[in-house]
Amino acid sequence: LFVSFPCISTETLIHQFSFRSLFTVEAPQSLYTVEHGNNVTLECTFPVNGKLKFRDLSHSDFRGRIKLLKENLNLGQSLLQITDVKLRDAGFYRCLIGYGGADYKTINLKVKGEYDSLKTITQGVVNTGDNEWKLTCQSEGYPQAEVIWQNREHEDLTDKANTSYETGSDQLYRVTSTLTIKSRIDEIFYCVFWNKELQENTSAVSVSFSVTFFLYDRNQRHCHIDCRKQRYI
C-alpha cells in the first residue's frame, strides 16, 4: 500500500497465500528531490516467498501520471513511478505492504522548480534622469526565492530594490525585482535568486550600463545574452 498524505494517494495491496513469521519493508532512499515536470520512481523493498497477487487503486490526481511497475513485485521491489511531477505531489508517501505480516516505510518527496537560465527574463535598464537607473530582472520557479542585488564589488544593495511575487496556475512563483540606483555608466550589477529553503543560489544575472545583459554560472564563466538558454553547471 503506497499512500501519500495529506492530499493524494495511490494504493497497492499485496497478499501472500502462506504466512511469514517475520516480515520487514525497507526504503533504499528516504528522500527524493525532483524538478517540477520531471519523472520520479519511489522504491521500497520486501522479502518474497511464494506467489503474489495485488489490487491497484489510483487517485484521480494521479490518473495518467502514475504507474506501479508490477513486473518488479516478484523481485521484492515495489516501484511507484510518477511522471510529469506537479508541485502538489510533494509530501510524505507511505509504502505499506501486507504480505502475511505487514510493515511500512515512509518516503519524503520534495519538488522544486529552479530559477535557472532557461526561465530567467531580463527586462532592461531604464534611465529615469539625474543619473538614476532602474534595473529589472524576473524569473519563475519554486519555492519562493529571495532576490539579492550586488554591485561590482559584491556589496549588498538589496535594500534599494523592490521585489514582488505572483503565483501562477502551475503554482510557480513569478518573481520580479527592480533596483533603483544612481551610478555612472559601464557599471555592473548582479541580480541573484537565493532559494532559502534549499540554501542555494539558483540563478544569477549581471547587468551592465552598456545595456548588455550577461548570465553567469556557478563557476563564474560568462556568456553574452544570446547564450542565455545555456543551463548553469
- Is the pTM above the cut of 0.75? no
How far is it, in rounded angstroms, from Cα 174 to Cα 165? 6
Beta strands in 83-199 (DSSP E): 91-99, 101-112, 121-129, 132-141, 146-151, 161-167, 173-182, 188-195
Domain ranges in the chain are 2-112, 121-227
121-227 shares the fold of 2-112: yes
Does the domain at 121-227 match CATH 1.20.120.10? Answer given as: no
Q: Which three cell numbers stand for residue 111?
A: 519538488
Fold of 2-112: Immunoglobulin-like (2.60.40)
**pLDDT tens for each residue of the chain, 233 residues long:** 454 433 333 344 344 333 445 889 999 999 999 988 899 999 999 998 877 766 665 555 566 788 888 888 888 999 999 999 988 899 999 998 887 788 999 999 998 887 764 455 555 667 676 778 888 888 888 888 888 898 888 899 999 999 999 987 778 888 899 998 887 666 788 888 887 766 655 555 555 544 343 444 333 333 222 223 223 32
